[in-house]
Amino acid sequence: MSNIQDKSESVIFPKGVKVSNDYFIGAAFLEMLVPHDNIFNCPIVNVTFEPRARNNWHKHPGGQILLVTGGKGYYQEEGKHVQELHEGDVVKILPDAKHWHGATPDSWFTHIAINTNVQAGAVEWLEPVTDEEYNNLK
Amino acid sequence: MSNIQDKSESVIFPKGVKVSNDYFIGAAFLEMLVPHDNIFNCPIVNVTFEPRARNNWHKHPGGQILLVTGGKGYYQEEGKHVQELHEGDVVKILPDAKHWHGATPDSWFTHIAINTNVQAGAVEWLEPVTDEEYNNLK
């Protein structure tokens, strides 16, 4: 549909720096667009995943909204089928819904993550999405 | 830098419907990406302005964040110089800051508007940005 810049360099917003925590498998990159503060209460991050990269299962006590800007990704909530995501998709992640997101095997993936109601508390990181799970998504 | 789709058809997210209220001059288009609710408390709108289109001066009691996805626009706060906006720019509008935004004379302009702390109250619309003001921006 569009012929925007190469997804490995992110889309519109900067690619940022490689994630260095233990809650991701594969390489992902974060650029803080709006930092956490007590004025807006709405930290916003541009996230870019290399093919197959994904975050661990996790929960946001206040919820999160994803705006997909490019590439091809996955979103899955516990007990539900995986959803394939594309440019222009919007994902509303309810408070405390256990979920993960990341890139498909054949594409980079970029989304803006908007953290809502952050007064409710910080993200709770859980177990990784193993290669066995990732290779057998339903 | 990028060669994304024609700005008159918006960028990544749908162009939506023409604004039909009295708080804009020129044609602007809105697509609600996330509606107002009591779960996320974070309505998100994709806004596309035709060249010269702009909204009236206004204030957000809870603040607003703009993520610029394409075209060329203006942002001005009361008593300050106008700022020219481009793809990838982020604007943090403090609660109750009197301001307006819109397209430059020679370009369409698209941004995502993220409304923060909406529990604080609804937008307060004020006087229009007259042609005389718009033609003599500093």
**pTM for the whole structure:** 0.94
pLDDT, tens digit, 9 for 90 and up, residues B123-135: 999 999 999 999 9
Residue numbers in B near A42 (CB within 8 A) = 42, 65, 114, 116-117
pLDDT, tens digit, 9 for 90 and up, residues A57-103: 999 999 999 999 999 999 999 999 999 999 999 999 999 999 999 99
**Residue pair B96/B58 in contact by the 8 Å Cβ criterion:** no
Residue numbers in A near B65 (CB within 8 A) = 34, 40, 42, 44
Interface test with B, best of A12, A66, A90 (most B CBs within 10 A): A12
Residues B27 and B39: their CA atoms lie apart, in Å, by: 32
B39 interfaces chain A, CB cutoff of 8 Å: yes
**Which tokens hold the place of B78?**
């009361």
B88 interfaces chain A, CB cutoff of 8 Å: yes
Residue numbers in A near B13 (CB within 8 A) = 67, 88, 90
**Which tokens hold the place of B39?**
């779960």
Q: What is the dihedral of CA B117, B83, A66, A84, to 10 degrees?
A: 160
**Which tokens hold the place of A129?**
């999405």
| Owner of token pair 């939506």 | B16
Q: What is the dihedral of CA B34, B16, A30, A129, to 10 degrees?
A: 60
Domain B17-126, CATH: 2.60.120.10
Per-residue pLDDT of chain B (138 residues; tens, 9 = 90+): 344 445 567 899 999 999 988 999 999 999 999 999 999 999 999 999 999 999 999 999 999 999 999 999 999 999 999 999 999 999 999 999 999 999 999 999 999 999 999 999 999 999 999 999 999 999
Enter the ipTM: 0.93
Q: How far is A134 from chain B (nearest CA, A)?
A: 28
Query: What are the residue ranges spanned by the domains of chain B?
Result: 17-126
Residues B95 and A21: their CA atoms lie apart, in Å, by: 34
Residue numbers in A near B33 (CB within 8 A) = 67, 90
Residue A4 pLDDT > 70: no
B34 interfaces chain A, CB cutoff of 8 Å: yes
Q: What pLDDT does B7 receive?
A: 53
The reply to whether residue B12 touches residue A42, judged by beta carbons under 8 angstroms, is no
Scanning every residue of chain B, which has its alpha carbon at the shortest distance from the alpha carbon of A4? B4
Task: Give me the residue from B2, B11, B116 closest to A5, CB to CB.
Answer: B2
Q: Which helix (H) or strand (E) holds A74?
A: strand A64-77
